[in-house]
Amino acid sequence: MLMLTKVFVYGTLCQGQRYHHIIAPFAKHTQKATVRGTLYDLPVGYPAMIEGDNPVKGELVELQNVPEALRLLDELEDYEPNRDTNEYERIVVKAVTERGDEVECYLYLYAPNRREWLAEHGTLVPGGDWPSFKG
């Protein structure tokens, strides 16, 4: 299986946000991009994205030392392959860069088993830009 080298981030891992320091040592290149989904703000201080057709704004990060970067990101996002208690699932999506290029990348999607909690406690982020929403 081919390992991708890019990840799309849309919340606390973005530049200027609280957990950017985790991804920063692995970032070879970062550019603005969008994916399709629906973005929520959680009362616990970070966002959650689920499937949808709205633009979600974030950053496409090209990683170096991908296995170690993914290990740390998986830990942060509470993700383990084939575990049904994950908070997020690591999936592959297509992000669109500002130049209009489509790029396959990893993305952490809020786990399906948490959607009921999300519906009760999450706040829809208008415009799909969590860092701007949090101001």
- Domain architecture of the chain: domains with CATH: 6-126 (3.10.490.10)
β-bridge partners, 31: 60
Q: What are phi and psi of 98, to 5 degrees?
A: -60, -25
Report the C-alpha gap between 73 and 57 in whole angstroms: 19
Nearest C-alpha neighbor of 77 from the set 106, 99, 52, 51: 106
Token pair recorded at residue 115 = 């959607």
Sorted by sequence, the CB contacts under 8 Å of residue 10 that are 6+ apart come out as 35, 39, 47, 49, 56, 57, 58, 59, 128, 130
User: Per the residue annotation, which of 62, 75, 77, 102 is the catalytic one?
Assistant: 77
Tens of pLDDT, residue by residue over 18-61, are 999 999 999 999 999 999 999 999 999 999 999 999 999 999 99
Note the pTM of the prediction, 2 decimals: 0.96
Residue 86 has pLDDT above 70, yes or no: yes
Residue 1 has pLDDT above 80, yes or no: no
The answer to whether 77 is a known catalytic residue is: yes
